[in-house]
Every structure is written in structure tokens, then in C-alpha cells.
Amino acid sequence: MYRARTPEPQSIATARAGSNIAFIKYWGVADPRINLPLNNSISMTLADLHTTTTVEWDTAGRLSSDQITIDGETATGKKAERVTEHLNLIRHLAGDRRYRARVVSRNNFPMASGIASSASAFAALTVAACAALELPFDRTRMSGIARRGSGSASRSLFGGYVEWEQGRDDATSVARQIYPAEYWTLRDIVAVVSTAEKPVSSQNGHSMAITSPFNSARVDSLYGMLQDVRNAITMRDLPRLGPVLEQDALAMHGVMMTSRPSLLYWQPGTLEVIHAVRRWREEDGLQVYFTIDAGPNVHLICEPTFEVEILKRLQKLGSVRSVITSGPGDGPQLLDKHLV
Ligand code: DP6
């Protein structure tokens, strides 16, 4: 007898998503269970620092657990658990599917070095996993899903200049695009002073933010700073944007350094680059500003006209091991070529 069967989803998909650099940072969680942040944040999605991820759902039931490969190595322990947990959320949203998955992921930049690999990683994982199950979710919905894996990933669901609204719950804590990438072709020049894995993941750091006496002062000051950043982007005004992004990077690191236990991501090279940026600006009028994520590397934000000069100058700093550059990029794309 013929019985209609629910069609199987296409089961495999590959997505590429860009990392992002925050001008106003996400630091601190209001609700760690769903990664609800203490504040709105604003970032630029990066074109040239990205993660490509293939998710193949095992609809035939051959796998007994998820199989995860990151940059050519089988993921185990915490790293693998974090991916499996995210897949569990997507399995749940897909109507409690039981399929295991094969996940193969590749970054084109060093992981865990203060370049937010988790942002591009969880954005690409979300888009690939949802597409492979043919889930009819739009980008806003996927931004909220990616947020659960990594807060900053919510912003990588959109291209260009992006704001992640703090929100009140799972459905409202999502990102939206402020302007597309082509609106303002800023450059992010990452001065890499160390590629060592960070000693404390940002995930643990977020829950420590409230132990710093400076945390509430930072959060209180952000309302005006967010408006300054939105306005500066609207006017494409770097001398207006730069001081605000530097101030928030320093405020966030102030919170990190004064939380209990104290988090100190900076290395001597971090300070060498900060001082150089200030000198170049004050003495030579070079319009360049710095920001730093949860790591020792320094992101230099400038207009394209200054890039060559800045690269030349960075080469002369003893602690700069390498430099990675990127402009603003588009949101995640699905690719036809799979990694498996
Ligand atoms: C310092 O959401 O990326 O980069 O997923 O644990 O890495 P993990 O946390 P994540 O927080 C990083 C925050 C930050 C600032 C920012 O990007 O807003």
C-alpha cells in the first residue's frame, strides 16, 4: 500500500559568514541561559575574515553522535560540546528532529586570538544547519538563533553596519542592519601581536562583568555613545566615530581588568600599537583609531586612503607579527561547494 512520507530535507548545506568588529562592544550578560546582553552593540561585518561551514544532517541515522571538524582537526571537549548544544537548539526548533550532523568548518584567520572567530563560526553554523533542514527562517530569526551560540554572532547575520538590540527575550534580542557595506568603505587593519589561544574565553568573561565596579558606569554611559556611533556612521565621519570606539574599547577592558577574577588580555605589543596609533594621529595627523576585542590584538580603523601608510608603519613595530586587513562585507551566503 502506498503511504505518503514526509519529504526528507535536502540534508546538506554550506554557508560562509564574515566576522565582525564591534565599535560599541557587547560585554556582560543579563541572562546567560539565552545570551541576553547588558547593552546594545554596533559592529561592522568583515568581508575578508570569514568562516565557511558545511552541515550535513545524517537523515539515514548512521552517526551515533555529531562529528565536528574545525580547521582540519576533530573537535572534542568544550569546543565540540558548544557546537552540539547549538545543533540541539536547531534540532529542537526543527520539531525535535533526532538527526546527528557532520559539521566541517574552516576559518581563514587564527581562532581565539581576539579576532571574533565565534561570531563568524556560529553565524555560518546557524545558516548552514537551518538551510540543510530547509527551515523557513529569515535573517532576523537566524540572528536570534546565532546569538544563543555566541552573542556577537547575532550581528554577523547581516552585512555592513549592524546593531544588535539588547531586547527583552529570545525573540527581541536580535540584530538589524543600519547601513549596507557599500555605504562606507572603512578598513579594519588587525595588528596581530599574538595568536595564542585566549586564557579565558569571552563566554566566561561575560558572566564576570558584573563583578567589576566599573561595569554599571560603562553600561550607563552607552546610551549616548550608541547614538554618537549611529550618527557618525550616518555622516561617514571617522573623526567623530574614532574617539567613541576607542573610549568603549578602553572602558570594556577597564571592566575586564577590574572584574573578579581580573581579566587582562593585553600583551606588551598591545600597548606598543595603542601608543603608536595615538602618536601617528597627534603628530602626523593620520586619521586612525584603535579597538580591541577579548584578546591582545589591535584593530586599527581607518579610511582606505591611509591604509598603505599604516601598513608601512606597522611593519616597523617590533611586536607586530602579522597584519590582516578587511573592509566591510555582506551578510552570510550559501555556497554550492561543500567541505565534505
Ligand atoms: C569582546 O559573543 O563573541 O568581542 O562567543 O564567548 O566568544 P564568545 O563571546 P562573544 O563576545 C565577544 C565580545 C567582544 C565584543 C563584541 O564583539 O561585541
Q: Ligand 1, closest atom to CA 201? A: 6
Output the pLDDT for position 195: 78
Domain boundary assignment for the chain: 12-181, 187-326
β-strand pairing of 333-335 with 29-31? unpaired
Q: Ligand 1, closest atom to CA 151? A: 2
Region 118-144: mean pLDDT is 97
The predicted-structure confidence for 232-256, as pLDDT tens digits, reads as follows 999 999 999 999 999 999 999 999 9
Mutate to test the pocket of ligand 1, among 19, 23, 24, 26 (most ligand atoms within 8 A of CB): 26
- Region of poorest pLDDT, from 138-142, 216-220, 292-296: 292-296
Distance 68 CA to ligand 1 centre (A): 22
Asked if residue 12 has pLDDT above 60, the reply is yes
Cis peptide before 261 (omega within 30 of 0): yes
209: which DSSP letter? G
Q: Ligand 1, closest atom to CA 119? A: 3
**Positive or negative, the Cα torsion across 232, 233, 238, 242?**
positive
Quote the CA–CA distance of 302 and 28 in Å, as a whole number: 28
Distance 21 CA to ligand 1 centre (A): 10
Output the pLDDT for position 5: 54
Region 184-201: mean pLDDT is 86
Asked if residue 8 has pLDDT above 70, the reply is no
Distance 82 CA to ligand 1 centre (A): 15
Average pLDDT, rounded, for the chain? 94
Output the pLDDT for position 144: 98
User: Fold for domain 12-181?
Assistant: Ribosomal Protein S5; domain 2 (3.30.230)
**Positive or negative, the Cα torsion across 74, 141, 13, 8?**
positive
What are the grid coordinates assigned to 9, written together?
530535507
Element (H, E) at 143: helix 139-149
Output the pLDDT for position 116: 60
Report residue 111's pLDDT band, with 50, 70 and 90 as the boundaries.
Answer: low
Q: Ligand 1, closest atom to CA 122? A: 5
**CATH class label, 187-326:** alpha beta
Lining ligand 1 with CB less than 6 A are: 22, 25-27, 41, 116, 118-119, 150-152, 201-203, 293-294
Output the pLDDT for position 148: 98
What are the grid coordinates assigned to 236, written together?
561617514
Region 47-60: mean pLDDT is 97
Mutate to test the pocket of ligand 1, among 125, 215, 293 (most ligand atoms within 8 A of CB): 293
Quote the CA–CA distance of 226 and 144 in Å, as a whole number: 21
